[in-house]
Amino acid sequence: MTESFSTLCLRFKPQYFGASLSLRAMCVSSWRMQLGLTWLLLLSFTPRCDSMPDPRQREALRKLELSRKIGGGVVLNEKEKLLDGKLYQMKRQEMAAPDFPPAKHFFKAKSLIDASPVFSLLQKMPKGAALHVHDFAMVGVDWLVKNVTYRENCYVCFTDDGSVRFVFLSTQPKVAPFCSAWVLLKSLREKHNTTELDNSFIRNLTLFTEDPDSEYPNQDVVWKRFEQAFLVAYGLVTYAPVFKDYLYEGLRQFYMDNIMYVEIRALLPLTYELDGSLNSRDWSMRACQDVVQFFTAQYPDFIGTRIIFTVHRGLNSTQAVTVVKEAIRLQRDFPDIMAGFDFVGHEDSGNPLWYFKEALGLPEELGVHLPYFFHAGETNSEGTAVDQNIMDALLFNTSRIGHGFAMPRHPVVKELARKMDVPVEVCPISNQVLQLVSDLRNHPAAILMAEGHPMVISSDDPALFGASGLSYDYYQAFMGFGGMISNLATLKELVLNSLRYSSLSPALKEKAIEALLKKWDKFVSESLL
Ligand SMILES: *[C@@H]1O[C@H](CO)[C@@H](O)[C@H](O)[C@H]1NC(C)=O
Ligand SMILES: *[C@@H]1O[C@H](CO)[C@@H](O)[C@H](O)[C@H]1NC(C)=O
Ligand SMILES: *[C@@H]1O[C@H](CO)[C@@H](O)[C@H](O)[C@H]1NC(C)=O
Ligand SMILES: *[C@@H]1O[C@H](CO)[C@@H](O)[C@H](O)[C@H]1NC(C)=O
Ligand SMILES: *[C@@H]1O[C@H](CO)[C@@H](O)[C@H](O)[C@H]1NC(C)=O
Ligand SMILES: [Zn+2]
């Protein structure tokens, strides 16, 4: 069906072209009727020739539009309808409050969200999977400072640009470039106010500040701080014993937020021992396997973790060939835990995907399958080389798109993604803190959500933003760009999507979804008490 809405209007309601401005705007827009059903629906109304639009037609249009949103096809049972009604009231009340959290910077909104009844319900909601989180940003930084830096043999040095670095070593470490002499933290703590020292470490490990607008005047500044914070955590997290504990603690924090499965974008750096010796990358993979096995033995309703191997997009094309070969090897040697490959880092200042085309074509050339999970479209620079990343991600058969913030600006690519059933991983708080959008009601995912584009919600780097798990991001999606039309059906579809679009095998996926639906029913019943 290719007949346009304007023809339809002309045929039935010519008088509206003179009479109603808003309807004229609607009619002349080139909205194409794509569903035969829609066509029939509209045809079945007898046109009225007075000045009032037909209320039945109005209602039919409204329903049609609602049916397209995420959750538009979900049928709620009686209990779910009751909870939906309750949720609607809670939502309305919070929307009416003068201090609306999604409209503020997360650093200022967090305490408001913590006090929100909707948030508290979202925390209890089983959220399925977290599909977009990074290995060094899963665990709240308090744990890094209060637990990890208090371990034996921890040294600290102070960099020329006001930051810190950590290392564990059995002997005095050699001086690092641009850093003071290494000091044993234990002896430093004896001489200093420990509370103040620890707080300064916490500030170095997150982006949190009371005044984000003046501290981070632009994206480059905030990205610089972001990469700096990774370097601070690096020396702590790559110490072999901490590497395992960190992963365990990360899984625990996600599990506590009612998440049953996690896919981690992991740099898989080489870990080191107390004598300074380095372990292989295979050691890291085996460590992940061991930790996940240990964790699932303790929490049997947690189904596991898979790793997406990531490298920085600052690499050159020759280096990229080497790492893609390494990814292929890891995929072959660790098929259970290895999910695929991706690039990380600030998209605007890194190499675009097309620059890596030889490396990315390698698996197919070699006749092996290496699934891709590309970050793409985490930008608001329209029309640059980087802005082609979403298209190129799809051309390289990506399984999901990390962020896809630029998606609504690419109508053809958007249609292609939908045909290929490739979801976007929307991370609202990350996009706000890294300055792609300020008021989350204006997040482009609002459009994608309204048209039912495949989507999952994730948290990217919760530890760096002072968030945790997924609940804060669900809150922003549900209250911010979800608006009043997103409801319990929306949440149910988003939660199910997280497992549907995971890299789990079809058999495991089916089992996981079954388990999730049981948790969901329990959540609905308990929330009605
Ligand atoms: C640090 O964490 C480890 C592993 O999670 C735990 O065994 C240990 O008791 C913790 N130590 C402190 C000081 O909290
Ligand atoms: C350490 O600093 C904190 C915060 O500035 C202060 O409240 C506390 O009294 C200080 N402790 C000591 C022992 O000086
Ligand atoms: C990082 O830690 C150093 C040393 O304690 C401190 O001087 C500096 O202010 C901290 N940086 C931030 C951003 O708080
Ligand atoms: C990439 O970097 C490596 C090491 O720095 C260098 O040997 C190689 O020539 C570079 N390749 C390209 C295409 O620039
Ligand atoms: C594209 O990716 C999917 C899912 O990972 C896979 O099943 C399919 O074989 C891939 N197709 C090509 C042409 O690589
Ligand atoms: Zn990311």
pLDDT per position as a tens digit, 455-465: 999 999 999 99
Asked if residue 123 has its Cβ within 6 Å of ligand 3, the reply is no
pLDDT exceeds cutoff 80 at 30:
no
Query: Which of 174-178, 237-241, 382-386 is the least confident region?
Result: 382-386
What is the per-residue pLDDT for 38?
Answer: 53
Q: Determine which residue's CA is closest to atom 1 belonging to ligand 5.
A: 397
Each residue's pLDDT tens digit, 34-54: 444 455 555 555 555 568 999
Give the residues across from 272 on adjacent strands: 239, 278
- Ligand 2 pocket, residue 196 CB under 6 Å: yes
Q: How far is CA 317 from CA 227, 345, 357, 366, 370, in A?
A: 22, 16, 8, 18, 18
- The pLDDT, as a whole number, for residue 6 is 38
What's the pLDDT band for 215 if we cut at 50, 70, 90? very high
Single out the catalytic residue among 249, 263, 378, 425. 378
pLDDT at site 405: 97
Q: Give 260-314 pLDDT, tens digit per residue.
A: 999 999 999 999 999 999 999 999 999 999 999 999 999 999 999 999 999 999 9
Using the predicted structure, report yes or no on whether residue 8 has a pLDDT greater than 90.
Answer: no
Taking the CA of 247 as reference, the closest ligand is 1
CA–CA distance, 296 with 305 (Å, rounded to integer): 10
Instruction: Please provide the average confidence, as pLDDT, over all residues in the chain.
Output: 92
Is the C-alpha dihedral spanning 321, 324, 330, 332 positive or negative? Answer: negative
Give the three-state DSSP class for 487.
coil
**Can you tell me the mean pLDDT for 101-125?**
98
pLDDT at position 453 over 90: yes
pLDDT of residue 277: 98
Pocket of ligand 1 (CB under 6 A): 147, 150, 245, 249
**How much is the average pLDDT of 426-449?**
97
For residue 51, the model assigns a pLDDT of 83
Rounded mean pLDDT, 124-146: 97
Q: What's the start-to-end Cα distance of the chain, in Å?
A: 49
Ligand with an atom nearest the CA of residue 396: 5
The residue whose C-alpha atom lies closest to atom 13 belonging to ligand 5 is 397
* Residue predicted with more confidence, 20 or 447: 447
Catalytic residue from among 105, 375, 403, 453: 403
What dihedral do alpha carbons 270, 253, 508, 455 form, nearest 10°? -100
Q: How confident is the model at residue 172 (pLDDT cuts 50, 70, 90)?
A: very high
Ligand 2 in contact with 187 (CB < 6 A)? no
Q: Show the DSSP H helices in 133-218 as ranges.
A: 141-146, 185-191, 194-205, 212-215
pLDDT more than 70, % of the chain: 91
CATH number of 101-139+240-527: 3.20.20.140
Please state, in angstroms and rounded to a whole number, the distance separating the CA atoms of residues 267 and 264: 9
pLDDT digit string, tens, across residues 80-90: 999 999 999 99
Query: Is the CB of 322 within 6 Å of ligand 4?
Result: no
pLDDT for 24? 32
Which residue bears the tokens 């955590």? 233
| Atom of ligand 1 at shortest range from CA of 249 | 5
Q: What is the pLDDT of residue 36?
A: 45
Q: What is the pLDDT of residue 385?
A: 87
Average pLDDT over residues 367-377: 97
- Average the pLDDT over 195-209 and give the result: 97
Q: How far is the CA of 317 from the centre of ligand 4 (A)?
A: 8
The answer to whether residues 154 and 128 touch, using CB atoms and an 8 Å cutoff, is no
Name the residue type at position 138: M
403 classed as catalytic:
yes
| 318 CA to centre of ligand 4 in angstroms | 6
Let me know: does 475 contact 118? Beta carbons within 8 Å. Answer: yes
- Closest residue by Cα to residue 257 from 439, 110, 98, 129: 129
Domain boundaries, the chain: 101-139+240-527, 142-224
Nearest CA to ligand 1 atom 13: 147
Looking at residues 382-390, what average pLDDT do you find? 92
Among candidate residues 400, 423, 460, 471, the one with its CA nearest the CA of residue 255? 471
Residue 29: pLDDT band with limits 50, 70, 90: very low
Atom of ligand 3 nearest to the CA of 201: 2
Supply the pLDDT for residue 472.
Answer: 98
